C-alpha cells in the first residue's frame, strides 16, 4: 500500500529536567483508545461538533454542480472569516499554481479567486473597485450566519452588486450556512439565491472538507473528489491501526499532551514550501480554538521553512525549552535544476549549487533544521507527505483534525466549542448597537477601562 504520510517521532522524546519518554506514552494507551471509541460513536450519531468525521463519506454531487455554475464567472469572492475562510485559503495556496490570479485566463481556465476576511476598508474597497461586479460571484459563508465581519462585507457587496445589476444580484450570490438557522439562511430563502448547507454537526474550524471549502475549490478546478478520497483513505487506515505504536495520530496526540504537561506550551507548525504556508495558518485556528480552554492548550505558532530558518530558528534552537516543533516536508517536488555558471570566475565558490535541484534544496533544509534542533536538545516531530496534491492534502487535513480532537479528549476539554470567542462577539454586537446586546456595553466599558489604565501618552 502506498503511503499517505509518514511521521517520525523518535526526536520528540527528550530527557533532561522535563523529560518526555517512550514509556510515558504507553501509560496513555488505554485513554487514547477510549477517546477514539467515543469520537467515532458520537460521530456515527452525528452529535453536534463531531460531524466532520463523516465528511469523507459525503455525497459531493450538489457541491460539484454549484462549483460548475461558479466556474462560469470571471471572478469569485468568498466572504467569510475564521473557519469560513482559512481552509479555502489553505486549499488554494496548496493546490492552485503560484500567482494564480495573475495567470492569463487561457492558462487559468477558471475564475480568479479572492477572499474577503478582515473588515479592512482599504482591502474591501479596492477589491470591489477592480472587479466587474456583473461577472463576479460572491460566496457568503458563515455557519452562524451572523459573524459581524462577514455580515459587514456581505452588506457592502450585496448593495454594490445591486447598484450594478439591480434585482438580478441574487444570481451572483451563493450562501453557505446552517441548513435551518440564522440570518443568511433567511436571506437565501427570501431572495431565492443559491445556497448550500453546512451540516449542523460540523463546526467552523472542522469544515474545510464540507461545502465551506469544497464549493470554491471545485469552481477553481481543484479535484474535490480526490481531496475527499484522501481524507477517506486516511480515516480507513487510522481505524485499522488499533495499536498505539502503529497509529501515528494516536502517537502525535499523546506526544503533544505529554509535552504540554511538561511545560512545552507552544506547538510550532513549520511546513516547508510556499504551497503549505497557509496549512500552518489553518492549523493555528484548529489547534488554538479547539484546545485553548479551561487553562489547557498549547499556543500554535505558524512558521514557514525555509524563511523562518532565517528569522525564528535561533529562538527555537537556543531560546526557552517551551516548544514542540513539527516540521512538514514533501518527498516529491518539482526539481528545477540550477544552472552551471562556469564562465564567471567570481561565482566559483557557488559551484556546490551548480546542477542541484531547488526542490531538493528545500528538503535538505528541512532535514538540516530538524537536525540542528535535535542537536540543541529540542523536541521535533518530522512529518513527510509524498507530494502536495489533492489526495495527500485531504489525508493531511483529516489527520490533523483527528489528532486535534483526540488531544482535546485527552485533556478532558471540549474540542468543538469556543466560549472565549463568543464573549468577544457579544461585545462587538453591543458596541455596534445590535438589539438584544445592550447589557454588555457596561461590561466592555469596565474591562476596556482596565486596558486603558495607566496610559502614558507621548
Ligand X SMILES: O=P(O)(O)OC[C@H]1O[C@H](O)[C@H](O)[C@@H](O)[C@@H]1O
Nearer to ligand X, 144 or 195 (CB): 144
Nearest of 67, 86, 50, 114 to residue 221 by alpha carbon:
67
Q: Which stretch binds ligand X (CB under 6 A): 50-58, 79-87, 255-263, 402-410?
A: 79-87
- For position 82 contacting ligand X by CB under 6 A, the verdict is yes
* Closer CB to ligand X, 312 or 418, in the complex: 418
Residue with cell string 466532520:
52
Q: Which of 289, 378, 390, 401 is catalytic?
A: 289
Asked if residue 32 lies in contact with residue 253, where contact means CB atoms within 8 angstroms, the answer is: yes
Least distance to ligand X, CB of residue 382, Å: 29
Q: Is the CB of 289 or the CB of 401 nearer to ligand X?
A: 289
* Cis geometry, peptide bond prior to residue 174 (ω within 30 degrees of 0): no
Our answer to whether residue 310 is catalytic in this structure is: yes
Contacts of 360 (CB under 8 A, 6+ apart): 333, 335
Report the residue from 58, 88, 136, 142 that binds ligand X according to the rule CB under 6 A: 142
Pick between residue 84 and residue 363 the one whose CB is nearest to ligand X. 84
**Contact region with ligand X (CB under 6 A), list: 62-70, 81-89, 93-101, 102-110:** 81-89
Q: How far is the CB of 311 from ligand X (least distance, A)?
A: 28
Is 142 or 389 the residue whose CB approaches ligand X more closely?
A: 142
Q: Which is nearer to ligand X, 114 or 206 (CB)?
A: 206
Q: Binding to ligand X by residue 83, rule CB under 6 A? A: yes
- Least distance CB 285 / ligand X (angstroms): 7
Place of cell 501515528: 248
What is the closest distance, in whole angstroms, from the C-beta atom of residue 435 to ligand X in the complex? Answer: 19
Neighbours of 361 (CB within 10 A): 17
Q: Which segment (22-30, 59-67, 80-88, 213-221) binds ligand X by CB under 6 A?
A: 80-88
CA dist., res. 392 & res. 440, Å (int): 45
Question: Smallest distance, Å, CB 227 to ligand X?
Answer: 20
Alpha helices (H) in 204-304, listed in sequence order = 211-219, 224-240, 248-261, 277-291
How many residues are recorded in the chain? 458
Site for ligand X in 256-295 (CB under 6 A): 289
Print the binding letters for residues 96-135 with ligand X: x by CB under 6 A, - otherwise: ----------------------------------------
Told to check if 78 binds ligand X by CB under 6 A, we report no
Of 404, 165, 458, the closest CA to residue 288 belongs to 404
Kindly determine how many residues on this chain lie close enough to bind ligand X according to the rule CB under 6 A: 14
Nearer to ligand X, 4 or 151 (CB): 151
**Contact (Cβ atoms closer than 8 angstroms) between residue 400 and residue 29:** no
* 174 is a contact residue toward ligand X (CB under 6 A): no
CB 318 within 8 A of CB 376: yes
Per the CB < 8 A criterion, the answer to whether 80 and 154 are in contact is: no
CB of 90 to ligand X, least distance (A): 13
Distances (CA, A) of 133 to 77, 114, 366: 10, 13, 44
Closer of 80 and 305 to ligand X (Cβ): 80
> What does the alpha-carbon distance between residue 240 and residue 249 come to, in Å, rounded to a whole number?
12
Q: Quick check: 211 binds ligand X (CB under 6 A)?
A: no
How far is residue 328 CA from its own chain's centroid?
A: 14
List 125, 239, 421, 432, residue binding ligand X (CB under 6 A):
421
Task: Confirm if 131 and 99 have CB atoms less than 8 A apart.
Answer: no
Among 150, 195, 210, 369, binds ligand X (CB under 6 A): 150
Give me the DSSP letters along 290-339.
HH--TT---EEEE--BTGGGGTTHHHHHHS-S-EEEEEEEES-----BPP
Instruction: Kindly indicate which of the ranges 82-90, 102-110, 228-236, 301-309 contains the residues binding ligand X, using the contact rule CB under 6 A.
Output: 82-90
C-alpha cell belonging to residue 376 = 540543541
Q: Report the residue from 81, 284, 291, 324 that binds ligand X according to the rule CB under 6 A.
A: 81
Residue pair 161/172 in contact (Cβ under 8 Å)? The answer is: yes
Rounded Cα–Cα distance for residues 406 and 363 (Å): 29
Nearer to ligand X, 254 or 280 (CB): 280
User: Can residue 408 be called a binding residue for ligand X (CB under 6 A)?
Assistant: no
Q: What stretches of 192-223 show up as alpha helix (H) in DSSP?
A: 211-219
Shortest distance in whole angstroms from residue 147 CB to ligand X: 3
- Going by the DSSP 8-state scheme, the letter that residue 340 receives in this structure is P
- Identify the active-site residue in 243, 310, 348, 375: 310
Of 273, 418, 429, 430, which one interacts with ligand X (CB under 6 A)?
A: 418
Query: What CA–CA distance (Å, rounded) separates 160 from 119?
Result: 16
Residue numbers 307-366 binding ligand X by CB under 6 A: none
For residue 15, give the 3-state DSSP assignment. Answer: coil
State how far the Cα of 143 lies from the Cα of 141, in Å rounded to an integer: 7
Compute the distance between CA of residue 78 and CA of residue 299 in angstroms, rounded to an integer: 28
Using the contact rule CB under 6 A, the part of the chain among 10-18, 136-144, 163-171, 262-270 near ligand X is: 136-144
Residues of this chain that bind ligand X (CB under 6 A): 81-84, 142-144, 147, 150, 204-205, 289, 418, 421
Residues noted as catalytic: 289, 310, 425
Amino acid at each position: 500500500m502506498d503511503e499517505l504520510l509518514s511521521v517520525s517521532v523518535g526526536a520528540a522524546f527528550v530527557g533532561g529536567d522535563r523529560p518526555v519518554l517512550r514509556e510515558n506514552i504507553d501509560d496513555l494507551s488505554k485513554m487514547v483508545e477510549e477517546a477514539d471509541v467515543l469520537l467515532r460513536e458520537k460521530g456515527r450519531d452525528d452529535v453536534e461538533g463531531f460531524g466532520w468525521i463523516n465528511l469523507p463519506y459525503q455525497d459531493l454531487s450538489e457541491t460539484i454542480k454549484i462549483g460548475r455554475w461558479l466556474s462560469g464567472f470571471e471572478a469569485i469572492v468568498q466572504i467569510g472569516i475564521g473557519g469560513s475562510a482559512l481552509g479555502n485559503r489553505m486549499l488554494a495556496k496548496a493546490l492552485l499554481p503560484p500567482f494564480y490570479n495573475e495567470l492569463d485566463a487561457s492558462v487559468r481556465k477558471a475564475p480568479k479567486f479572492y477572499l474577503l476576511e478582515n473588515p479592512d476598508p482599504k482591502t474591501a474597497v479596492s477589491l470591489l473597485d477592480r472587479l466587474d461586479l456583473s461577472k463576479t460571484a460572491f460566496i457568503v459563508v458563515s455557519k452562524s450566519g451572523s459573524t459581524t465581519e462577514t455580515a459587514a462585507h456581505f452588506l457592502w457587496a450585496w448593495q454594490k452588486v445591486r447598484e450594478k445589476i439591480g434585482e438580478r444580484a441574487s444570481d451572483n450570490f451563493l450562501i453557505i450556512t446552517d441548513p435551518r438557522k440564522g440570518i443568511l439562511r433567511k436571506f437565501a430563502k427570501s431572495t431565492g439565491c443559491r445556497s448550500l448547507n453546512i451540516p449542523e454537526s460540523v463546526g467552523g474550524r472542522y469544515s474545510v472538507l464540507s461545502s465551506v471549502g469544497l464549493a470554491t475549490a471545485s469552481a477553481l478546478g481543484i479535484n474535490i473528489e480526490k481531496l475527499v478520497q484522501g481524507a477517506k483513505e486516511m480515516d480507513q487506515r487510522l481505524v485499522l491501526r488499533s495499536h498505539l505504536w502503529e497509529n501515528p495520530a494516536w502517537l502525535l496526540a499523546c506526544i503533544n499532551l505529554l509535552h504540554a504537561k511538561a511545560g512545552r506550551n507552544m506547538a510550532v507548525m513549520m511546513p516547508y514550501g510556499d504551497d503549505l504556508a497557509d496549512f500552518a495558518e489553518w492549523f493555528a485556528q484548529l489547534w488554538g480554538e479547539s484546545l485553548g480552554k479551561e487553562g489547557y492548550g498549547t499556543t500554535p505558532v505558524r512558521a514557514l521553512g525555509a524563511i523562518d530558518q532565517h528569522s525564528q530558528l535561533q529562538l527555537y534552537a537556543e531560546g526557552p525549552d517551551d516548544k514542540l516543533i513539527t516540521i512538514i516536508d514533501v518527498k516529491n517536488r518539482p526539481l528545477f535544476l540550477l544552472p552551471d555558471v562556469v564562465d564567471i570566475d567570481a561565482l566559483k565558490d557557488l559551484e556546490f549549487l551548480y546542477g542541484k535541484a531547488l526542490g531538493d534544496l528545500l528538503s535538505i533544509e528541512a532535514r538540516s533544521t530538524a537536525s540542528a534542533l535535535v542537536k540543541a536538545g529540542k523536541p521535533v516531530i518530522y512529518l513527510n507527505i509524498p507530494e502536495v496534491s489533492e489526495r495527500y492534502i485531504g489525508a493531511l487535513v483529516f489527520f490533523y483534525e483527528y489528532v486535534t480532537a483526540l488531544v482535546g479528549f485527552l485533556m478532558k476539554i471540549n474540542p468543538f466549542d469556543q466560549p472565549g470567542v463568543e464573549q468577544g462577539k457579544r461585545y462587538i454586537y453591543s458596541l455596534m448597537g445590535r438589539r438584544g446586546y445592550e447589557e454588555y456595553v457596561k461590561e466592555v466599558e469596565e474591562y476596556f477601562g482596565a486596558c486603558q489604565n495607566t496610559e502614558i501618552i507621548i
